[in-house]
Amino acid sequence: MPLSSNRSLLLLTLALFGALLYLARSPSSDIRPKAHRVLAKPRTAQQNGLVNQADRTETLADEEGDQEKRILRQRIVAMGDIHGDLPAATKILRRAEVVDLKGQWIGGDTILVQTGDIVDRGPDTIALYRFFQSLRPQAERAGGAVVSLLGNHEMMNCLGDYRYVTKEDIASFGGERNRREAFLHGWIGQEFRANYSVTARVPYLIEDYPASLAAPILPATPSGSSDRRFVEDPTFATASSAASDPLRRSAISFVHGGITPEYLASRSSDSPITDINRIGHSILESLLSVPGGVPLGLPRSANPEQKEFWSERGPMWNRDWALEEEEEICERVEKALEVLNVRRMVMGHTPQFEGILSRCDGKILLIDTGISRAYGGAHSSLSLTYTLTPASALTVSDALSLGLVDLQDADPEATLKGDEMSRTWVEKEVVEALYTAGRATEVLDEREQVVKIP
């Protein structure tokens, strides 16, 4: 090729590169997608410390426009004891619209809680633990979460108690020795230690919080793990109380068996959730160094707090909330809710074969409905939908029904957008039992109230 042609080609290339560089630096080329809100996406400032209110208000305004127009929403889905039945589990989760026909996450920012006893009575142990293991990162990427709890049967298998293990289950591991190794040192035991806990406190408002309140600090969540924000006690703002922060207890407690006020009192801890999970994991860790392998029960070296944890009084085995008369438990459950800073307690463990049972006006929700084919109970999940609507976003008719404006008001829309209503919200909780096989959804509790932030 002639030298002049090479020189022309070089000059043309340089000219094109210069034009592209100019366009890249030009302000007119800085086209950004419109900001949008992802409810459950973690915010670094909230993980590491209290959010500066001025910065928070500015950030929210930048993302959403006027804060008064924002409606905050969150959905939580919970499923009880599965006991070795993968087809039942996936069918229930499809009904709850958190997975598709292929078992892939479609729940968006939904928080899914499984309250333990995945194992025993059925053959699908490996498939079920792998299934939840695969869902966890999918949910995280979508802004949601999968929270996995240990049941008494998980712990029994780690302790070598195989009373309820089926022959098909053992065969799926290639023999009992392989199965014991998987639960003790292998991939299931590692999964328990990394991503499973005994109890969880899931707040209704994860990322978003009214700017006029100091959001509670939730523990940080390592990427790729279960959502650790829900298995430790949050840190509340100094002097925060139910009176100064009406949303302080806008959260749900999850556990396999039950947490009683008597057990909480015996712990004498300011961090009950963190403390309970610490004890449960201390038992799992102690099993790694037991001479001779699995002990078929608590190790002889178990300390008093571990023994109490594993007793009928502890959170893995307790059945008080399911078996005792309501007049005997409703006052007690209120004491437990106060200590845990929650509004409701959700648990499995004691089967309710006809369907999810609500007790004490929805403060106790029993979600083990015997879904495994070993039982033949109702296929169910629990759905909790929470909405916090600012007064300025209400219709006039809704505001009238709530008593926020009256018929004598000359300009009700202006009243709703005025300074007096700037700290007024309407909080709504809908608690539903979702069923498969054509059974209608059952509304277990529905509450709507006006919340005025001081």
- Tens of pLDDT along 115-156? 999 999 999 999 999 999 999 999 999 999 999 999 999 999
Residue 60 has pLDDT above 60, yes or no: no
Q: Name the more confident of 70 and 447.
A: 447
User: Averaged over 161-174, what is the pLDDT?
Assistant: 96
- Name the residue range of residue 195's domain: 44-393+420-452
User: Averaged over 284-309, what is the pLDDT?
Assistant: 85
As a dihedral over the C-alpha atoms of residue 405, residue 407, residue 411, residue 412, rounded to 10 degrees, the angle is: 30
> Is the residue at 249 inside a domain?
yes
pLDDT in tens, 72-110: 999 999 999 999 999 999 999 999 999 999 999 999 999
**What is the pLDDT at residue 300?**
86
Residue 423 has pLDDT above 80, yes or no: yes
Confidence of residue 50 (pLDDT cuts 50, 70, 90): very low
User: Averaged over 327-342, what is the pLDDT?
Assistant: 96
Q: CA 284 to CA 343: how far, in whole Å? A: 30
> Is the residue at 36 inside a domain?
no
User: Averaged over 389-417, what is the pLDDT?
Assistant: 92
User: Averaged over 191-202, what is the pLDDT?
Assistant: 96
Per the structure, the count of domains in the chain is: 1
Confidence of residue 216 (pLDDT cuts 50, 70, 90): confident
Mean pLDDT score of the chain? 85
Q: Which residues pair with 346 in a beta bridge?
A: 254, 365
> Is the residue at 276 inside a domain?
yes
Residue 52 has pLDDT above 50, yes or no: no
**What is the pLDDT at residue 223?**
67
pLDDT in tens, 340-370: 999 999 999 999 999 999 999 999 999 999 9
The answer for residues whose C-beta is within 8 angstroms of residue 282's C-beta and 6 or more apart is: 306
Relative to beta strand 424-435, strand 111-114 is unpaired
Q: CA 279 to CA 304: how far, in whole Å? A: 11
Domain with residue 287: its CATH number is 3.60.21.10
Question: 444 φ, ψ to 5°?
Answer: -85, -30
> Is the residue at 409 inside a domain?
no
> Is the residue at 30 inside a domain?
no
Q: Alpha-carbon torsion 253, 257, 260, 265, what sign?
A: negative
Question: 358 φ, ψ to 5°?
Answer: -105, 130
- Residues 450/424, Cβ–Cβ less than 8 Å: yes
> Is the residue at 414 inside a domain?
no
From 157, 77, 89, 168, select the one nearest 119 (Cα to Cα). Answer: 157
Confidence of residue 193 (pLDDT cuts 50, 70, 90): very high
> Is the residue at 39 inside a domain?
no
User: What tokens does 87 get?
Assistant: 């087809």
**What is the pLDDT at residue 230?**
95
Q: What percent of the chain has pLDDT over 70?
A: 81
**What is the pLDDT at residue 197?**
96
Question: 148 φ, ψ to 5°?
Answer: -110, 130
User: Averaged over 38-45, what is the pLDDT?
Assistant: 35
Residue 425's SS3 state is: strand
Tell me the CB-side half-sphere exposure of residue 216, using CA atoms within 13 A: 27
Confidence of residue 226 (pLDDT cuts 50, 70, 90): low
Q: Name the more confident of 251 and 420.
A: 251
Q: CA 145 to CA 98: how far, in whole Å? A: 11
> Is the residue at 372 inside a domain?
yes
Confidence of residue 269 (pLDDT cuts 50, 70, 90): confident
DSSP codes of every residue in 11-67: HHHHHHHHHHHHHHH-GGG---PPP---TT---HHHHHSPPPHHHHHHHHHHHHSSG
Q: CA 195 to CA 137: how far, in whole Å? A: 11
The answer for residues whose C-beta is within 8 angstroms of residue 46's C-beta and 6 or more apart is: 207, 215, 217, 218
Burial class from Cβ neighbours inside 10 Å (0-12, 13-18, 19+) for residue 310 reads buried
pLDDT in tens, 304-318: 999 999 999 999 999
**What is the pLDDT at residue 39?**
35
